[in-house]
Homo-oligomer: A and B are copies of this chain.
Amino acid sequence: MATRFELSLPDWASESLAATPALLDDQARMRWVIELARTNFERDTGGPFAAAVFEEETGRVVSIGVNRVVPMTCSSAHAEVMALSLGQQALGGHDLGGPGQPGHQIVVNWAPCAMCCGAICWSGVRSVVIAGSGPEMEALTGFDEGPIHPSWPDELRRRGIAVRDGLLRAESLEAFRQFATSGRPVYNARKG
C-alpha cells in the first residue's frame, strides 16, 4: 500500500529553471512559460501545460511546473500544482503570501482548470497571469477544463488575487495547435 509519493520536474525543465535569470516583464515571463509547455510535450514528459511562480516586483523565478500526469501516474500533477508546491518547498512555507513574503505571481499558458483554480486560491499568490481563456484550447486539444466556477476571475479577485488574461494568446494557441496535430494522448479520464 502506498503511504508516500514524490513528484518531480523532468531534467530538461530543472536545467531551464537553473539557467533562467530574473525576468522583468510579464511578456518575457509568459514567453518562457509557453516554451516550457511546448518542450514538455515535444520531449514526451507530459501534457502541453506549464506554469512559473515569480516574485512579482523583481521577476526572480521562485519555481516552475510542467504537467506530469502521465509520467508520474498522478492526475493532480498539473502544471500549476507542480509550480505552487515546488515554490512552497523552495520557500519553506505553505503560504506564498505569508508574513514577510514579497508578492508572488503565477504565470500559466492558459486559464486554470477547476482543480488548479482552487489550488491557486490556497497557495498565497497575489496575482495570476494567463495567456488566454475561452473554448479554443479545449476545442483544439480535447482537454476538459472541468467544472470551474462560472465567475472564477471575480472569485479570485475577491480573495485578493489579481487576474490578467490575454498575454501572448495567439502564441499560446499556436503551441496547443502543434500539440493537437502531433497525435499525442489527451489523458483526462473520460473527459471528466
Seen from chain A, the residues whose Cβ lies within 8 Å of a Cβ on chain B are: 1-9, 13-14, 17-18, 61, 63, 69-70, 72-76, 81, 84-90, 92-98, 113-119, 121-124, 144, 146-152, 155-156, 158-161, 187-192
30 contacts between A and B (CB under 8 A): A1-B61, A2-B86, A3-B14, A3-B17, A4-B7, A4-B86, A5-B86, A5-B89, A72-B94, A73-B88, A73-B92, A75-B84, A75-B124, A76-B84, A94-B187, A95-B187, A113-B122, A114-B117, A114-B121, A115-B115, A115-B116, A115-B117, A118-B146, A118-B147, A118-B148, A121-B147, A121-B189, A122-B189, A147-B152, A161-B192
Q: How many copies does the complex hold?
A: 2
The reply to whether B98 and A189 form a contact with Cβ atoms under 8 Å apart is yes
A157 to chain B, nearest CB (A): 10
What chain B residues lie within 8 Å of A74 (beta carbons)?
85, 88-89, 94
A121 to B155, CA, bound (A): 21
A108 to chain B, nearest CB (A): 15
The reply to whether A85 and B76 form a contact with Cβ atoms under 8 Å apart is yes
Chain B residue at minimum C-beta to C-beta distance from A11: B3
A49 to B155, CA, bound (A): 24
A53 to chain B, nearest CB (A): 11
The reply to whether A188 and B122 form a contact with Cβ atoms under 8 Å apart is yes
A18 to B73, CA, bound (A): 22
Chain B residue at minimum C-beta to C-beta distance from A158: B192
The reply to whether B190 and A97 form a contact with Cβ atoms under 8 Å apart is yes
A96 to B69, CA, bound (A): 13
